[in-house]
């Protein structure tokens, strides 16, 4: 079967690879970071900001958009990209993360949620998750999975693997749009045997790409990385590998070193909204009094619009007086910094120098 997504690998450095993922709607460079626009917008930003930042693909949340404004409304606008005025690529998650975050009722057939907006009950099955995402019209959609938090009893992890595998088969059968890619998801907690088993069963279904879920949900990084490596060993080289919900600098560089191609996470934007900047020298907590008279930029090595124009002292002032532009400016900087880190990794892989960049990141952030 011809896949609507293929990964052209242009450079390798050990297990790490840099490339271009070609989709029916365009291409994106890997490894990449996808900003999270939960309700068809990254908080405090809009599509013109994503373009200025150089983002190529942005994530939106199926659960939230099917509730407000409704998948049919988004479809009437031509899909989530046109709805948001975004001309780049998009990925919609399936609602599987809400299985972790909202603790809904889960059975073998699907998931029953209560709306976070009005308390009404809503049902998602593998088939209806595909149908909703086909209406949302993203470039890439994700199969519905079960994402347990960690630590969890072995029987909970095993049940999640079994349900995720059964739901993956149903999602694959339900998928109808040849112009829209469908990614399967690997589960298994931190159990390397289960990770390999889940990955192998998912690959048998010949998805267009592969998400690795159920990590960064309570385990340590020392537990996460071997489980991630076990899953990656089973995934094909010509399809994108997507580590879901991971965005701290150390995990990004460690996962790229192992062979991951794409990421999403709310961490950079959440930190920014609360006054913490990501920089080449580590986190900068702007509310600290020592920044009050500082005319330094957030990061002297950063070329983003915020660092070119504003001082730490000014940005701290904005936070202390609860000026909304404070959150906007730090969100812009943190996304620019994270996207810049991905660009550095692509260049380092091409130069065979990823080990040196990894050492620098670990020395600053580990």
Q: Which of 13, 93, 145, 299 is an active site residue?
A: 93
Could you tell me if 166 and 315 lie in one domain? Answer: no
Q: How far apart are CA 121 and CA 112, in angstroms?
A: 7
Could you tell me the sign of the dihedral formed by the alpha carbons of 308, 340, 140, 328, in that order?
A: negative
DSSP 170: H
Strands 57-60 and 6-13: unpaired
Q: Which of these, 155, 160, 163, 139, lies nearest to 79 by C-alpha position?
A: 139
Query: Is 264 assigned a catalytic role?
Result: yes
Domain that holds residue 175: 6-265
Question: Pick from 228, 250, 265: which residue ends a domain?
Answer: 265
Helix 221-232 / helix 192-203 crossing angle, nearest 10 deg: 30
Give the DSSP H or E segment for 146. none
Could you tell me if 244 and 310 lie in one domain? Answer: no
Predicted pLDDT at 156: 96
Tell whether pTM > 0.85: yes
Cβ distance 165 to 202 under 8 Å? yes
Q: Which of 13, 145, 208, 264 is an active site residue?
A: 264
Query: Is 191 assigned a catalytic role?
Result: no
Could you tell me if 188 and 325 lie in one domain? Answer: no
Distance of CA 329 to the CA centre of its chain: 21
Strands 181-186 and 57-60: unpaired
pLDDT in tens, the chain (366 residues): 468 899 999 999 999 999 999 999 999 999 999 999 999 999 999 999 999 999 999 999 999 999 999 999 999 999 999 999 999 999 999 988 888 888 899 999 999 999 999 999 999 999 999 999 999 999 999 999 999 999 999 999 999 999 999 999 999 999 999 999 999 999 999 999 999 999 999 999 999 999 999 999 999 999 999 999 999 999 999 999 999 999 999 999 999 999 999 999 999 999 999 999 999 999 999 999 999 999 999 999 999 999 999 999 999 999 999 999 999 999 999 999 999 999 999 999 999 999 999 999 999 998
Predicted pLDDT at 97: 84
State the CATH number of the domain containing residue 211.
Answer: 3.20.20.105
Could you tell me if 135 and 277 lie in one domain? Answer: no
Could you tell me if 231 and 288 lie in one domain? Answer: no
Could you tell me if 148 and 253 lie in one domain? Answer: yes
């Amino acid at each position: 079967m011809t896949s609507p997504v293929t990964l052209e690998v242009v450079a390798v450095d050990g297990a790490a690879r840099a490339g271009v993922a070609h989709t029916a709607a365009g291409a994106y460079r890997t490894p990449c970071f996808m900003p999270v626009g939960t309700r068809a917008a990254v908080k405090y930003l809009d599509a013109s900001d994503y373009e200025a930042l150089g983002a190529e693909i942005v994530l939106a949340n199926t659960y939230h958009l099917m509730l407000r404004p409704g998948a049919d409304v988004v479809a009437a606008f031509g899909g989530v990209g046109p709805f948001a005025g975004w001309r780049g690529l998009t990925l919609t998650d399936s609602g599987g993360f809400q299985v972790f975050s909202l603790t809904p009722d889960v059975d073998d057939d699907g998931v029953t949620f209560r709306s976070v907006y009005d308390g009404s009950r809503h049902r998602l099955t593998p088939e209806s998750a595909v149908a909703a995402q086909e209406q949302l019209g993203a470039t890439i959609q994700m199969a519905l999975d079960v994402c347990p938090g960690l630590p969890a009893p072995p029987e909970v992890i095993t049940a999640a693997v079994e349900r995720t595998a059964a739901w993956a088969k149903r999602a694959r059968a339900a998928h109808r749009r040849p112009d829209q890619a469908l990614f399967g998801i690997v589960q298994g907690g931190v159990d390397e045997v289960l990770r390999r088993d889940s990955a192998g069963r998912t690959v048998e279904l010949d998805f267009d790409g592969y998400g690795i879920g159920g990590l960064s949900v309570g385990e340590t990084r020392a537990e996460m990385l071997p489980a991630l490596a076990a899953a990656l060993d089973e995934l094909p080289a010509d399809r994108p590998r997507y580590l879901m919900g991971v965005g701290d600098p150390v995990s990004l560089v460690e996962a790229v070193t192992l062979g991951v191609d794409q990421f999403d996470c709310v961490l950079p934007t959440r930190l920014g909204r609360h006054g913490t900047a990501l920089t080449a020298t580590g986190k900068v907590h702007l509310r600290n009094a020592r920044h009050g008279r500082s005319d330094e930029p957030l990061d002297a090595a950063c070329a983003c619009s915020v660092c070119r124009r504003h001082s730490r002292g000014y940005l701290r002032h904005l936070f202390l007086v609860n000026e909304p532009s404070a959150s906007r400016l730090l969100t812009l900087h943190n996304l620019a910094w994270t996207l810049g880190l991905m660009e550095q990794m692509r260049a380092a892989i091409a130069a065979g120098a990823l080990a040196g960049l990894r050492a620098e990141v670990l020395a600053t952030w580990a």
